[in-house]
Amino acid sequence: MQKIASDQLRKVVGSKSVTKSTIITKVITDSRKAEKGALFVAIKGDKFDGHDFVVDVLENGCELVMVERLLPHVAADRQIVVPSTIEAYGRIAAYNRQQFKGVVIGLTGSSGKTTTKEELKHVLSAFGKTYATSGNHNNHIGVPQTLLDMDMDADYAIVEMGMSSKGEISQLTSYVKPDIALVTNVYPMHIEFFESFEAIAKAKAEIFEGLTSNGIAIINADTNFADILQKQAQKYTDKIITFGKNNHYTGRLELEQDGEIQRYNAWAVLKVVEALGLDCAQAAETLKTFEALEGRGKKHILPLPSGGCYTLIDDSYSGQPEAMKIAIKSLSEMPCKGRKIALLGKMAELGATSLKQHIAIGKLVADCKIDIVIGVKPEMKDMLAQLPATTEQYYFDSREGVVEFLQNKLLQKDDILLIKGARYSSELYKVTEALLKG
């Protein structure tokens, strides 16, 4: 981050506190990262309250702390008091973004955000110094952290923004102020928090509110409610680029995985490259070397005790309905010398639509070319009930016993095994971890 004097810092957050004069070189919310030159922002979470760690961080080197009330056991000139530390944290992040001289690319979408972000980072690094959101730190804490940890010497900064309710993207994009705003897709994720599917599209379109004066909007023309995305984008810019089946890079494009979702991710990346005026052919060549992320479709070739190998597709990070459908279709389309096996765990955060969504997944699987289906958790009984009797199928109440079953009773040479399910509800990522260990 850019260094900031304590008096300027107080102006940024609108605090009337009188503190010692000092220079802040880092802003943290994690007390374990206390160091000389840092400002500690005391944020109250569901399971902790940063105010409880103020004494510790000051003893461990922090120059100042930002708090919501003046703490009596701490020197007053070490405290910046604000009404809301979360809001103040965002303001500091926005200030730091204003000092950045490179190009900021903001992106959101219902599925594939993190993968697209990592693809962008991989490609743009071939053209200049590139910084990007770490992991999936894309919420009201993660985005400010991303902006504050930004490499101020970078040519490009890629900031991922996520949401689960109306107004979240609006707040985040006000901090990010993207020069380019990308919406990868719109699916009914977190629909229990919205009045309609259309409302999700409008919430995603909030990203365009933060566009800089000459900002560019990039939209998936084939996604649900693409017309709404374009209509909303037109309120903030006349520079709108679309991508899709009828509008994409037409040069040679080779990918590690060549499913529909991978192609759309690649097309989105190449449209950003085009918007930046960079060489799309060079970018396409760079995409060839991008490898899928752990938990997001990464392929592993693993040995079997009896000899030979099988392919594990680790897509265990997310179990949202649309992501589940994409993974199942991709498996169905893959060439395979052995059998195609889908290990599917329950989907979470579906509210009243849960039964309908699990049934829909079952009907999709029934129409796909998949040889064996394994359901994990009670919700998946409804999924399995949609399969024809000729489909080999198995059910487990939990992940317990699944690894032993796969390794000792099911897997054969040249099989392809897809693992997909809600990460913490189904815990199938632990099955992946066990299989990778052998």
Q: Give the span between the Cα atoms of 89 and 33, in whole angstroms.
A: 16
pLDDT at 93 over 80: yes
34 plus 116 within the same structural domain = no
109 plus 202 within the same structural domain = yes
Give the residue numbers spanning the domain of 352. Answer: 298-437
Inside any domain, residue 154: yes
pLDDT (tens digit, 9 = 90+) per residue, 96-132?
A: 999 999 999 999 999 889 999 999 999 999 999 999 9
Residue 301 or residue 318, greater confidence: 301
331 plus 277 within the same structural domain = no
pLDDT number for residue 102: 98
Q: Model's pTM, two decimal places?
A: 0.88
Q: Give the span between the Cα atoms of 251 and 300, in whole angstroms.
A: 29
Q: Give the span between the Cα atoms of 313 and 328, in whole angstroms.
A: 11
Check if the beta carbon of residue 311 is closer than 8 Å to that of residue 335: no
Distant-in-sequence, close-in-space partners of 91: CB < 8 Å, separation ≥ 6: 12, 13, 14
Domain boundary among 54, 83, 112: 83
Confidence of residue 240 (pLDDT cuts 50, 70, 90): very high
Proportion of the chain above pLDDT 90, given as a percent: 84
Provide the CATH number for the domain around residue 327.
3.90.190.20
281 plus 304 within the same structural domain = no
Domain boundary among 287, 308, 337: 287
pLDDT number for residue 348: 84
210 plus 246 within the same structural domain = yes
Domain boundary among 252, 287, 322: 287
pLDDT at 21 over 90: yes
Q: How many domains does the chain have?
A: 3
Inside any domain, residue 18: yes
Provide the CATH number for the domain around residue 35.
3.40.1390.10
Distant-in-sequence, close-in-space partners of 78: CB < 8 Å, separation ≥ 6: 19, 20, 58, 63, 64, 65
Inside any domain, residue 91: no
278 plus 328 within the same structural domain = no
120 plus 253 within the same structural domain = yes
64 plus 110 within the same structural domain = no
Residue 425 or residue 92, greater confidence: 92
Inside any domain, residue 88: no
For the segment 142-164, the average pLDDT, to the nearest whole number, is: 97
pLDDT at 13 over 90: yes
329 plus 406 within the same structural domain = yes
pLDDT number for residue 182: 98
For the segment 78-92, the average pLDDT, to the nearest whole number, is: 98
Task: Kindly provide the b/e burial profile for residues 134-161, where b requires at least 16 CB atoms within 10 angstroms of the residue's own CB.
Answer: eeebbbbbbbbbbbbbbeeebbbbbbbb
233 plus 330 within the same structural domain = no
User: What dihedral do alpha carbons 257, 260, 265, 271 form, nearest 10°?
Assistant: 120
Closest listed residue to residue 245, CA positions, set 267, 275, 228 = 267
Inside any domain, residue 90: no
Inside any domain, residue 251: yes
Inside any domain, residue 308: yes
For the segment 77-102, the average pLDDT, to the nearest whole number, is: 98
For the segment 262-276, the average pLDDT, to the nearest whole number, is: 96
Inside any domain, residue 17: yes
387 plus 242 within the same structural domain = no
pLDDT (tens digit, 9 = 90+) per residue, 369-418?
A: 999 999 999 999 999 999 999 999 999 999 999 999 999 999 999 999 99
Distances (CA, A) of 343 to 76, 392, 409, 428, 429: 57, 12, 14, 9, 11
For the segment 88-101, the average pLDDT, to the nearest whole number, is: 98
235 plus 362 within the same structural domain = no
Provide the CATH number for the domain around residue 235.
3.40.1190.10
